[in-house]
Structure 1
């Protein structure tokens, strides 16, 4: 199940992962630092797109996921083209911190078309129950804390 990095105003659903407001211990502190950093990066990137493209700023509630995905991908591509075109005017001496290596992430989004069958309604109701399951939220958050610790913690040892 996919999840979103959020701040404390969102409900404790399995799809929303908030930071830890007062982290106790090294694992919790590291998780809070990494979660807040990633969330801020996404917010900044989205803010850049909103300031550059009015279509991103306006509500898109009436569009389907596929159309929104295509619009966002197009805006990102156009933004990158603009940045590439203006790159010669920048005076950055070291750009290595902005360059990334190979990534295992995929930008593909699975899109499923809803049907009006009764079984789809039952499935959707079950999925909503899973999303709102606070125990699942707590397990996911604990797993993420542990995963971050395994990946970035204990570098001294």
Structure 2
């Protein structure tokens, strides 16, 4: 435990200013490119999964605006349409915020089924990361 604490403290001290802060417009644009290339979701900032914590305790200053219903002002374009705010993929436990895109519960239309499959695939990344953290006792 002491070694893990020392390592964690070193990571925070070394990288905290870069990674434990709200993303800049440049950061968000890089996220858009990465998520569109990997998952096919233009304008996606990320996927949120704090299913094992109470929502108000999600551990990051990044979530402060989200808790107040604010989306990062980072425009993106899809099919010639410009959108002002990015979004996060979530599941049904999250509040009804415009910046949260939830999967269809029981899709009927083929396009909705396709979206649900793609969204579930994209959300697996963050679920795996939280699973590793949970398994390590953090």
> TM > 0.5 between the two?
no
* Higher RCO (CA < 8 A, seq sep 6+): 1
Greater helix fraction, Structure 1 or Structure 2: 1
The structure richer in strand per residue is 2
So what's the TM-score if we normalise by structure 2? 0.34
